[in-house]
Structures are given as C-alpha cells and as structure tokens.
Amino acid sequence: MTAEERRNLRAFQDYVIKILDPTYILSYMSPWFKDDEVQYIRAEKNNKGTMEAASLFLKFLLELQEEGWFRGFLDALAHAGYSGLYEAIESWDFQTIERLEEYRSLLKRLQPEFKTTVNPKDILPEVSKYLIIQECEEIMQVCSNKGLMAGAEKMVECFLRSDKENWPKTLKLALDKEESKFSELWTVDKGAKNIDVKVLEDDEMETSDIQIFYKEESECQNLSQNSCPSSEVSHIYTPVKPRNYQLELALPAKEGKNTIICAPTGCGKTFVSLLICEHHLKKFPQGQKGKVVFFAVQLPVYEQQKSVFSNYFERLGYKVAGVSGATSENVSVKQIVENNDIIILTPQILVNSLKNGTIPSLSVFTLMIFDECHNTGKHHPYNMIMFNYLDQKLGGSSDPLPQVIGLTASVGIGDAKSTAEAVEYICRLCASLDTSVIATVKDNLEELEEIVYKPQKFFRKVESRTTDRFKCIISQLMRETESLAKSIFDEIGTITLEGISQIQNREFGTQKYEQWIVTVQKACTVFQLPDKDEESRICKALFLYTSHLRKYNDALIINEHARMKDALDYLKDFFTNVRAAGFDEIEQDLTRRFEEKLQKLESVSMDPSNENPKLKDLCFILQEEYHLNPESRTILFVKTRALVDALKKWIEENSELSFLKPGILTGRGKTNQNTGMTLPAQKCALDAFRTNGDKKILIATSVADEGIDIAECNLVILYEYVGNVIKMIQTRGRGRARGSKCFLLTSNAVVIEKEKINIYKEKMMNDSISMLQTWNEAVFKEKVLQIQIQEKVIRDRQGKVEPVPDKENKKLLCRKCKAFACYTVDIRVVEECHYTVVGDAFRKCFVSKLHPKPKSFGYFEKRAKIFCARPNCSHDWGIHVKYKIFEIPVIKIESFVVEDIATGAQKLYAKWKDFHFEKIPFDAKEMSK
C-alpha cells in the first residue's frame, strides 16, 4: 500500500465509519488482526455502538505495517457484501455514496412512522440484496424476539448504513408492492425501471417528459368475474350451452357494433365475452387473422381471465398470452402481441407501450374488451387508451380501428340529479368508449332473474351508546398529545400546527382526522431549518406525536363500531411494540400518559353496560337468519381491516355466534404492520368459504365488492358500509342465492339516506339506459361524435398549453460550490432528452474520471463521469459519452443552480422538463465547425 492510499483512507474514513459494521468482516481480516484487537472491536460495538467500533477498527487498520493488508481489506469488503464501499475505495470516488445522504436524512426523519406502519418481514425479501446477509438475519431475529416494531427500527438502522446506490428506489418499489401507507411519504426519484426508454443510467441521465408507472396493482377488488365458481374455472373448456339472455347480450357485438354490455354481477359476462371473441376470430376469411386484447384492471382478475381464456381458446387452436405489471420486465410486449391471437393485459402496459412506440398504434388489434368499463374516465388507463383511439378516429387516419366492447354491472350516473343529466353522463361514457349501443337483457328477463336473484333490502337504524367514557378518556389523551405537538411549533415560532394543513373542523375518531395526520406528516418531510440537527429533532418528534394520534384515532373508530375491549387491545398491542423498540424520551412520556389511564380504560371496557348497541342488533339479525335457515351463507361488509379483526374476535368469543366460524377477506395494502392479505391468502379464504360448510360467514372489506362469485351466498350485511350507486349494485350482487337478503345496519341516519339515494339513482340509471335504447342509432352516434369532438378540442387545448420558453440567457452554477459552469445558450438537446454543452470553455470547468460501469445504449457509449473542477468540490455533474462520432459531456440539471444574469436570482430544478429555457437541438454541423 502506498502512502497516498493510506492518506486517502484517512481522508475518507468518515464514509467508512458511517457504513461499515466491522464485526461482519473481522473473520476475513484474521491474518492481520490480533485476537485481543478483534475482541476489543466486538466489545466496542456492544458497549458503545457500530460507528464507535468502525472507528476503532480503522485505527487498528491504519496502524498495520504488514504487506497486503490494504488488498485484504478490499477483499474482505467484497466478501462481506459491501460492494458500494469496495468500489468507492478502489476508485477513491465517494460520489455515489454521497448521493445517498439525502435519503438517509429523510429516513431518519421518517423513522417513527416507518416503525409503526411497515412490517419488515413483508418487505425484506424485496430489499435483502441491498443489505448485508448478517443484517437480514439480525432483522428477522429482532422481529422474532422483540416484535415487528423493533424489527422495523433495526431495518432503518441497516438502511442508514447501506452502501448500495439503488436501495432508496428498491425500498420504494417494495413499499408500493405491499401498498404500504409509508410509500406516500417515501418519495424518491422514480427511475425508468419498468419502461423501455432512451436513457443511459437512471441516476445520471435526465429525460424529458417521460411518465413512469411502477405497477398495476391497487387494492384487490375483483377476484372472479365468471358465473361459475373458481373450482370450475379450470374446466370451462367443457362445452357449455349459452343461456338465451347471454346470447341476447352478445348479439350487437357479434354484429360488429361497439357495445357496452351492462348486466348484473353473477350473470356470466365473462362467458358472453368468450362468445363474442370466438365469433370475432372465426369471421376472418382465409389468409386474414383477428387479434383480441382483453383488459383487466386488477391483477387477480388479470390472472383469472388469462386462465379462463387460455382454457377456452387453446383447445380451438388459438394462442393466448398475457402481460401485467408483475411480468412486464421479463417479457417483450411487442413479441407477445405479435405472436398471439388473444392478449390479456393490465391496461397500463398498453398505455406505456403506445407512449414509447413498442406498439405503433391500436390498429394492430381488431377487438378490444374492457372489463369493468365504468372506470373509463379522467386519467384512468382505460381513458388513456381510448384517447389514443379517438385521436386516430378524429384525425382522419385511414388505418382500421378495433371493435370496442365494454363490460360492467353498472354504468353509473355520476352526480346526476335528473334523468336528463343521467342520460348525458351515460352518453359521455359511451363517447369515451366510442359505443352507441348499450346491451341489457330485455327479452329474456325472466331467465336472467332465475339465475341472478335480486335480494330483498332492509334498513336497520340502531342507537349509538348514550355515554361513551372510553371515547372521553382517549380524546383527553389525544388533546394532550396535540398540545405536545403544538409546543414543538411554538419553539420555532414561524408556523403553527393548525396552519400546516387546510383540513379544518376535524373530529377525533373520523377519517377526516386521519387525513389531517397524513397532511401534517407530508409537510414534515419537506420542513427545513438552517440547523439540520434541530430540524431532524423537530421532525422526529412530530412524527412520533402524529403516529400516536393515528393509533388513538384508529382505536376510536373500532370503539364506535365494535367492542371497547377490541379498541383497548389494539392500543395495548401498539404500546407493547413501542416498548420493545427504541423507546426514546418522547415515547416513554406518551406511554406513561397512556398507562396512567390504563386501569380506568380496563374498567370501562369490562363494564357490561357499555356494550355496543350495534353489536346487539347484528347478533339478533344473525341469530334470526340462521334460525330460519341454518345453511345460510353470509358476507359481512365493513369499512376497515381493524374492524374485520375486531368483529372476527367478537363472533368467535360470542357463545351464541361462534358456530359461524368466521373467515376474513381484506385487501393487500398495508395500513399498519399487522394487516393486508397476500393474493394466495385471499384465494384460500375464498375457497374455504365456498367449499367448507363449517365457515358460514365471511367478514370482508371493499376487496369483495366486485368479482366474487359464490352462488350459495344468501345474506349480505352492510355494517356502516355505503358507497356510490356502482358500489351498491356490485355489493348487493354478492347475494346470489334464491331468497337472499341484504341488510344495511347503521347508527347514522345519513348513511341510510345515502343508500336510499343510491336506490333512486339506480332506478334513474335504468330509466336512462331504457331511454337511450329507444333512440335512433344514427342519432345516438351523432350525439356521441359531437361529445368526442368537443372533448378532443378541450384535450388538445390543454395539451398545447405549454410554458413560453424564457429566451433570456442564464448561468448554470455548480450546486455545491457555486462555481460558474456554462450559459444556457451553450446547451444543446440530444435526441430530445439528453443535455450537452458545446464550446471549449465548458471543458475547462470539469474534470473527468473513467466510469466504473461503462456501457453502451443506442448511439451512446458511456465512458467517464464528470465532476466540478474546483479544488475541494468535485461535485458530480454527469457523464462523458461517445455519441456517434462525437465525444460530449452530458449534464444533469439537479447538479446545478440556475442564476438569472440580470437579477442574480437563483433557482433549483430537479428535472430538465421543469426548466423552461430555449432548448436548441444538437446539430452535428455545429460540432464539426
């Protein structure tokens, strides 16, 4: 090792101390370290902490005189998994590690919320490659020994030491996959991971106006769509004779008309789409072929429909394949579309493919089928696809357009208050889907009613508790916690807790209060003070206070609709986890305040006089219905997952209801550490309810609104549960069996009124559809066309409203040291998305170093990284590439400050697309001069 390398290691030792846990590499360093030194380092970690141990390790390391110790140290880093640190030391370039600092600061700030909302065991498989193997093992061990909150705290500690440059993005993807609420707070620069665009490296290159979509999944809402149960789906190829009403629904589409098929849940709309598909593919003459695309918004429906279509059509010799957000990275969308007759897609896949040119136009398809087509509105992917279709239609293109079919149980009427407004709303949906036919069952209504039973609907208004001592005690704790949070703001004096959010008149125990907490926490992520340590302290405190307020708010909601005991258990579990984790001074204070009230809360929750009247009424309904029909099958809908758990416990502990053996079905998203069902778990729950006669009740959230087909279900109970007219029709559609009933149970008269309005709106919708079906088809088509033309004018106008480029010359200064870099007049745009600087003057402003990961992409060959040339700065400015025959720098705007020459005002930009200066295209002729 040279003296220079020893000096460099001393110079960069702060980076090493922040990242390295020396105990992970000691076994590899045994040839150079004495046994007592190894024990001393281990003891330092146990007694004082990891950073102190790393500091001691470096002290011993730099004192070594033996040959080969430096290479041995690098090899030890590589073996242990410290790849980022290894590369940084080998090249003496710590820019990549330095760029992670902002994410470390953000994670420190968000730690209180992370540990209360993230289940580390769920995301560990996704993020493990960005941690050391021993760290992963330690996280699991802490989860087992001390609980999930302590495990989450350990995971944060490990991320703060991670040297892998993409750990922030991978954490974001893992949180998105688990649909964690924490994902809303964890904001990172979304790299182009799932879309094939012309970029060289997502952390070094900036592209103009490229929209990134990470995934297709949202909370699972559709688990089945065909009228046969899941156990029969795999045998759908068995010849099935279509019912007359199904043939009636398919008729307009078979005639080649763009059609919305509106029919009740459970009537077999998927089978109707199979009939339409088969007829469509067989109509083409010899030498021509059709190509069908079927869209399913939710991933579970995509999986199920892909299976249904494969089983049905592959026996007929047609090729079926699918692409979803979960599989798009591993397959070529273009090849899948080219090589198959029927393609099942989640719609964002096609939106992305049209945007980046993978699919040139919709003319490659001859038939498009939109499942749950009532979603075609605003910025939904369905509407993005149809914008493309309508631009082609109205733009005078001679290319043929595909036939369009929409499937839905309810087209809805939006906010319409009259039949005329409802007709207009439905016409706009038809215009969005370019349809002028709405197919409903009219001629075979009796047959349909034999198959799909419309349950009787009952409204039960019950009284709430006359006095609620539990709520009084918890509300007092919430007021105290709010006061503590306000005192933090009083220290600053420039902002108030009320001023941080526009949400006013928030009440404890409401969704509005939850929204206020989210707003405050988001504001904390961008809160800044000159003193960064003080900023970190204040933000951490605010996150702790708001996290506790959220738990109290959750408990009040449980108390309102279930037992006080369940609400108290929820809080006791939370505080047990808090104690097992870091348990700092603020947490100790908040826990002490809760424990002071615990005895009183225990007493109140055990008092029989405080029993929830709603539960008495729910118990009466269930006992009555199972007395009349012991074989009844029930779905109980509730608003939140916490209520699902609370009502399951209540039924199991109630001697009069425990025979029901409740199952649960919730969404896949994570609202806290202990909720969210995986897709296999959802399927198991459904299968158990369908096939296990002992499980007589399924307690579900809105995940069960759409797509569940359980023909035997004869009782639906909506427990404080109401939505719009579409949700009402779909939820009621869960009750399929003859003589089925639907109860709405609530203590809120407004809820009953809202449901009655939905019933009125349903009638208005049906009347409006009937009216439209009497229109002359040419008149309907003209109405649709006029709406499309109007909407396109508005869309084009909105699309063309672009900021006027500022033609005034500006300076670009190094963001770190403010050294002059270049003028905007010298910037050129390469292939619409990369930015270079022409002229020899700029070359004197930067220094370059060979790129550690050189690679080629298109016409670009990435060769070096460029840095500010000012001594002691070396801020990362971008990269140096060979573009065709030219050697050019490519800069990233986030590395610079933009200064107005006239006023001296300075501004920061994160994206080139946000910087509206006059952008001059790169010209090879200019370079040759």
Neighbouring C-beta atoms of residue 326, cutoff 10 Å: 15
Q: What is the mean pLDDT of residues 452-475?
A: 82
Q: Where are the alpha helices (DSSP H) in 133-268?
A: 133-146, 148-161, 167-177, 230-233, 244-254
Percent of the chain surpassing pLDDT 70: 85
Q: How confident is the model at residue 572 (pLDDT cuts 50, 70, 90)?
A: very high
Between 49-58, 687-696, 826-835, 892-901, the lowest mean confidence (pLDDT) is in: 687-696
- Strand order from edge to edge, sheet including 342-345: 320-323, 342-345, 292-295, 367-371, 403-408, 259-262, 437-439
How confident is the model at residue 463, as a pLDDT?
Answer: 78
Residue 146 pLDDT > 70, yes or no?
yes
Is the Cβ–Cβ distance between 79 and 41 less than 8 Å? no
**Where do runs of H (alpha helix) occur along 284-414?**
299-313, 333-339, 347-356, 381-394
List pLDDT tens digits, range 680-730.
677 677 777 877 778 889 898 866 544 444 556 788 888 887 654 444 444
State residue 226's pLDDT score.
37
pTM for the whole thing? 0.58
Query: Which residue, among 490, 494, 480, has the nearest Cα to 527 in the 3D structure?
Result: 494
Q: Which amino acid is at 732?
A: R
Flag whether pLDDT at 571 surpasses 90. yes
Mean pLDDT, rounded, for 647-672 = 82
Helix (H, G, I), strand (E, B) or coil at 439: strand
- pLDDT, position 325: 75
| pLDDT for position 155 | 93
pLDDT at 577: 84
Annotated binding site for Zn(2+): 814, 817, 868, 873
- At 680, the amino acid letter reads P
What residues form DSSP beta bridges with 262? 408
For the residues 173-186, what does the mean pLDDT come to?
82
Give the pLDDT confidence score for residue 201 in this predicted structure: 37
Determine the Cα–Cα distance for residues 458 and 47; give it in Å rounded to an integer.
66
575-611 per-position pLDDT tens digit: 988 887 767 788 899 999 999 999 999 999 998 888 8
- Rounded CA gap, 305 and 191, in Å? 31
Per the annotation, binding residues are 814, 817, 868, 873
Residue 457 pLDDT grade (very low, low, confident, very high; cuts 50, 70, 90): confident
Residue 212 has pLDDT above 50, yes or no: no
Give the pLDDT mean for 279-297. 92
Residue 764: how many CB atoms within 10 A of its CB? 19
Averaged over 208-220, what is the pLDDT? 28
Q: In 3D, which of 609, 262, 266 has the Cα closest to residue 442?
A: 262
Structure tokens at 153: 């705290």
Instruction: Give the least confident one: 14-18, 48-52, 229-233, 398-402.
Output: 229-233
Question: Rounded CA gap, 476 and 604, in Å?
Answer: 15
CA–CA gap between residue 430 and residue 423 (Å, rounded): 10
Q: What is the mean pLDDT of residues 76-88?
A: 89
Render pLDDT for 193-205 as a digit per residue (tens, 0 to 9).
332 333 333 333 3
The answer on pLDDT for 247 being more than 90 is yes
The pLDDT value recorded for residue 600 is 94
pLDDT the model gives residue 734: 44
Can you tell me the distance from the alpha carbon of 13 to that of 60, in angstroms, rounded to the nearest whole number?
A: 13
Indicate the residue type of 176: D
Q: How far apart are CA 411 and CA 425, in angstroms?
A: 9
Closest C-alpha to 641, from 670, 611, 661, 612: 670
735 against 418, higher pLDDT:
418
Contact, 173 vs 694, CB < 8 A? no
Task: Give the Cα separation of 559 and 666 in Å (integer).
Answer: 20
In contact, 310 and 360? CB cutoff 8 Å:
no
CA atoms of 176 and 196, how far apart (whole Å)? 20
To the nearest whole number, what is the mean pLDDT of the chain?
82
